[in-house]
Structure 1
Amino acid sequence: MKQWVTNQNGLDKLRLVDAPEPSGLKEGEVLVKIHSVSLNFRDTEVCMGEYDHHKTIDTGSEVVPTSDCCGVVVKLGPGASDLLKEGDRVASTFCQTHLTGQIVEKDMYRVFPAYGLVKVPDYLTYGQAACLPVAAVTAWMGINSFQPIGQPLRGKDKFVLLQGTGGVAVTGLQIAKALGLTTIITSSSDKKLELAKGLGADYTINYKNTPDWDEVVLNLTGGRGADVILECGGAQTLAKSFRCVAFGGLISAIGYVSGKEDAVSNRINANLLALCRNVTFKGIINGPKDRFEEVLRFYESERIEPVIDRTFEFEEADKALQYLFSGGHFGKIVVQVQ
């Protein structure tokens, strides 16, 4: 069996190695034949030794850097048949032990028990289903973290601002449109913004050409601001997100592609900014299994198909990660394993 591993010492230092096939399944465990894997920005950070803010991976240790997969159950361990059967097509949950409610630190550790898998709809390909564990659940929670299960946010009068055109933002755009929400999406590429329009984006903003994009958001919303912001930018975008969120709105802190730390001269008093507009500023580390299952039901009812920018062969996984890091993609990147 082959696998890609990293010692977290650089994207150019991934290694394709031989590995033993798993055996001796423990209580509640299942063996899954992986068909497809999708990549996330965190995977590049793991490879470069920069994914250290959760302190769940020993920097320098050898790890497989991915977190999304879809495959088929080929063998059941003792006690696993209550949840799954051989032949089930399944996707992994990002935080394996996070089954419901609020996440706690122990949920960041990965094992592969039967309860850490969800069945995927038949209409999705393996590659499409592999795009959902991180991007779809994160986007769903970013929009609906305070909404009860089965009662997602809806209505054309609700505005959602999506930053960038990576996996979570594009997935969030698809979800928001299916919910009937009004969408605003930003990018530095007019070409990508045209692609976003093709997915139904109501408004687009090129933040490179329009540095004061927060003012544009306020104008588009009649001065009210966006009800929900998927904050994917980080250090260089947060202050503007605070300025263009609706009073009583939600900023979901998802990513930091513009950096983790701002220059000292530009540091903001987040306390004051949150108070000014009575904002909820919430960190989103994916979501629990029951919300993933909710997402899958929604996807199936709306027949949403994830946007895949490009698919790489397994032997090209290192090139796939380099492509992801370049930022040239629109939507998700998939590695075809089988």
Structure 2
Amino acid sequence: MQVIRLQAPGGLDRFQLHDEQDPGQPGAGEIRVRVRASSLNYHDYLIASGAWPAADGRIPLSDAGGVVEAVGAGVSEFAVGDHVLSCFFPRWQDGPPTVSDFAEVPGDGWDGYARELVVCPASWFTRAPQGYSHAEAATLTTAGLTAWRALVVNGGLKAGDSVLVLGSGGVSIFALQFAKAMGATVLATSSSDAKLASMRELGADHCINYRQTPEWGAAVRELTGGRGVDHVIEVGGPGTLAQSISAVRTGGHIALIGVLTGHAGEVPTTQLMAKQARLQGLIVGSRREQVDMVRAIDAIGLRPVIDRRFALADIGAAFRHQESGAHLGKICLEF
């Protein structure tokens, strides 16, 4: 099988394509999956670029969409031919969060899915949505589930709510789509008028160019009649958090899911306290939440937005496209 390995210390020119031994047949409780697609996330970029150290020779990528080729003894949830997608935290099956690092995340602490075949416990995968391509399924593991957990699981999103999404990356686009499908009003920010036009086509009700409107928190309040939004999908981190606090309603919810502007910074604590808002950090979600998300997708018919597709051997070019910031939605690899 073909495998991509990243040579330490990382860097987008440090990927090597290898022909390696077939992993063989599954044992008890395991499945054999032929991986057909993956998608890129900011976490994957940190690993690939060397900004986040990984073991020498690590197989990157956390997301996988593929087809079950064999099942081991005792496996009843899957059958040969089933289309499946991977779980970001393979051992977080259900219940409250049990993880606070990436030590057991494929593509980081463990080898990931930039390879054609994998044999692993059946519980490391879930079924894919009905009718999804493998690339579409692969967009859900990280970005889709993060948006779902932020809005539905943690946020309790309901029809009539208002949601602010920052930027046009995978999580923000999924959040826009989930919010619209569930009857919410969506406000979106970007530095690109072209991307804002695309987000409006996806259903965004109000769009703000944050370069033209640096105080976009005040603009959000004005667009909501002075109230502010119920939910903020905060992907920027310290560089955008103050404006997100300005934008959220009193008693609202800010889902802190990204660090695009840095890993540490000042928090306007007085303003957050005065707003009595809930600022909640999160990292993706559990297998149970992924199962629930797939069920919802089957019901509402949501389809991911895929910006570009690359071959496995072109993984470096795919990450350079991500690095450019030119994409809207997800970047996928198809094997």
User: TM-score over 0.5 for the alignment?
Assistant: yes
In structure 2, the CA distance between the partners of 1:162 and 1:8, relative to structure 1 (3 Å rule), is: farther
Gaps of 5+ in 2: 107-119
Q: What TM-score do the two structures reach when normalised by structure 2? A: 0.91
Rounded to whole Å, the distance in 2 between the matches of 1:16 and 1:8 is 17
Residues 154 and 181 in structure 1, CA contact (< 8 A), matched pair in contact too: yes
> What amino acid maps onto 2:38 in structure 1?
V
Residue type matched to 2:297 in 1?
Answer: Y
- Name the SS for the 1:50 alignment partner: coil
User: What is the distance in 1 between the residues matched to 2:201 and 2:136?
Assistant: 19
Q: In 2, distance between residues paired with 1:228 and 1:84?
A: 36
Task: Report the AA paired with residue 163 of structure 1.
Answer: L
Alpha-carbon distance between aligned partners in 1 of 2:203 and 2:43, rounded to the nearest angstrom: 27
Inter-partner Cα distance in structure 2 for 1:106 and 1:207: 32
- The worse-fitting range, judged by mean Cα deviation, of 58-67 and 31-40 is 58-67
Post-superposition offset of 1:8:
4.4
Aligned to 2:157: 153
CA offset at residue 315 of structure 1?
1.7
**Closer, same or farther in 2 for the Cα pair 1:130/1:194, shift >3 Å?**
same
Q: CA deviation at 1:273?
A: 3.2
Q: Which residue of 2 is the match for residue 69 of structure 1?
A: 64
Residues 199-246 of structure 1, C-alpha deviations (whole Å, 9 max, x = no match): 010000110111111110111111111111010011210111112211
Partner of 2:285: 287
Find runs of 4+ consecutive structure 1 residues off by over 6 angstroms: none
Matched residue of 1:218: which SS? helix
What is the alpha-carbon root mean square deviation over aligned residues? 1.7
Is the 2:25–2:70 Cα contact (8 Å) retained in structure 1?
Answer: no
Give, in angstroms, the shift of residue 99 of structure 1: 1.2
Q: Indicate if the aligned counterparts of 1:118 and 1:293 stay in contact, CA closer than 8 A.
A: yes
Q: Kindly provide the CA deviation profile for residues 73-94 of structure 1, in whole angstroms up to 9, marking residues without a partner as x.
A: 1112232x22211111100111
Structure 2 counterpart of 1:97, one-letter code? R
1:16 match:
17
Change (3 A) 1:100 1:182: same
Q: Which aligned pairs between 1:51-90 and structure 2 lie closer than 5 A?
A: 51=52, 59-79=54-74, 81-90=75-84
Q: Kindly provide the CA deviation profile for residues 238-270 of structure 1, in whole angstroms up to 9, marking residues without a partner as x.
A: 1111122111111101111122234xxxx3343
One-letter code aligned to 1:122: Q
TM-score by length of 1: 0.90
Q: Distance in 2 between the 1:301 and 1:336 partners?
A: 26
CA offset digits 1:290-337 (Å, max 9, x no partner): 111111111111111100001111221111011111111000011001
Post-superposition offset of 1:23: 2.3
Q: How does 1:1-338 map to 2 (within 5 A)?
A: 1-6=1-6, 7-23=8-24, 25-51=26-52, 59-79=54-74, 81-105=75-99, 108=102, 109-110=104-105, 112-146=120-154, 153-156=157-160, 158-262=161-265, 267-270=266-269, 272-337=270-335
Q: What is the number of residues matched between the two proteins?
A: 320
Q: Hey, what does 1:55 align to over in structure 2?
A: none
State percent identity of aligned pairs.
Answer: 34
Secondary structure class of the residue paired with 1:11:
coil
